[in-house]
């Protein structure tokens, strides 16, 4: 597929799939798809899906039948070709597929998101100096539109946040070590004991900062797909 469609062809190890992911399976020559879910895998050997409860499904999913598999994961569409190894109807309905050698990834984000590990200072409280507080955290992924931040506080209190709470993020721009402050809003908030995971959407990004982020994202993406 053309590069300008943000399609990458990766090794099979880059499946990017988790248990319970909804999957579409299209048997070769059928022109129709079955919806099912991913259950597990043995890397390099096989993938296990739930065998759909559809009348006559055995007529289309049988040993050595070629299939196309597609699913969504973290804003990307993944797809690969495979073949049926084995099906089981009881006591559990299982579908075993051959582990793919390659997988195609179509990035749907306006700006691709890549993993990173950047120290970040998160400010909460806006312009209210009396209630303004800062927390040390780690930025785990980054795009020109937002990021994911993890706050750990084993001996301190984590901030009380709601969706759309305004935040300030202070960190050093990758590659230049230039201090950057970005305003954003909390969009996804997950708690794990003394850990808070935040999905942050940036309010506005200056051209200079955007170019720095895009340069970093592009260099990481090129390295991973080389």
Q: Can the peptide bond before residue 91 be classed as cis, meaning omega within 30 degrees of 0?
A: yes
What would the two tokens of residue 188 be? 């996804």
pLDDT of 180-208, one tens digit each? 899 999 988 988 878 899 999 999 888 88
Note the pLDDT tens digit of each residue in 112-148: 777 888 999 999 876 666 678 889 999 998 888 899 9
pLDDT tens track for 73-111: 876 788 999 999 999 988 999 999 999 998 888 765 556
pTM over 0.75: no
Domains of the chain: 3-107 (2.30.110.10), 114-225 (2.40.10.220)
CA torsion sign for 54, 60, 65, 69 is negative
CA distances for 72 relative to 20, 79, 107, angstroms: 12, 9, 10
Handedness of CA 210, 211, 217, 221 (dihedral sign): positive
Q: What are phi and psi of 162, to 5 degrees?
A: -130, 165
DSSP 16-37: ---TT-EEEEEETTT---EEEE
């Amino acid at each position: 597929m053309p590069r300008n469609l943000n399609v990458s062809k990766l090794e099979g190890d880059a499946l990017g799939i988790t248990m319970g992911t909804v999957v579409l399976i299209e048997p070769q020559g059928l022109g129709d798809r079955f919806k099912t879910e991913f259950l597990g895998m043995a890397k390099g050997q096989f993938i296990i899906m739930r065998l759909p409860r559809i009348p006559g499904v055995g007529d289309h999913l049988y040993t050595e039948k070629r299939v196309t598999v597609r699913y969504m994961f973290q804003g990307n569409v993944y797809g690969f070709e495979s073949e049926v190894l084995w099906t089981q109807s009881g006591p559990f309905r299982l579908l075993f597929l051959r582990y793919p050698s390659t997988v195609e990834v179509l990035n749907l984000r306006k700006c691709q998101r890549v993993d990173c590990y950047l120290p970040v200072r998160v400010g909460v409280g806006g312009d209210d100096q009396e209630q303004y507080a800062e927390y040390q955290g780690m930025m785990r992924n980054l795009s020109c539109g937002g990021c994911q931040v993890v706050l750990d506080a084993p001996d301190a209190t984590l901030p009380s946040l709601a969706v759309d709470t305004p935040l300030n993020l202070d960190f050093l721009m990758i590659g230049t070590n230039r201090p950057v402050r970005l305003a954003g809003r909390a969009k996804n908030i997950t708690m794990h004991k003394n850990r808070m995971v935040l999905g942050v959407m940036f309010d506005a990004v200056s051209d200079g900062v955007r170019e720095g982020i895009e340069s970093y994202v592009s260099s990481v993406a090129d390295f991973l797909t080389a």
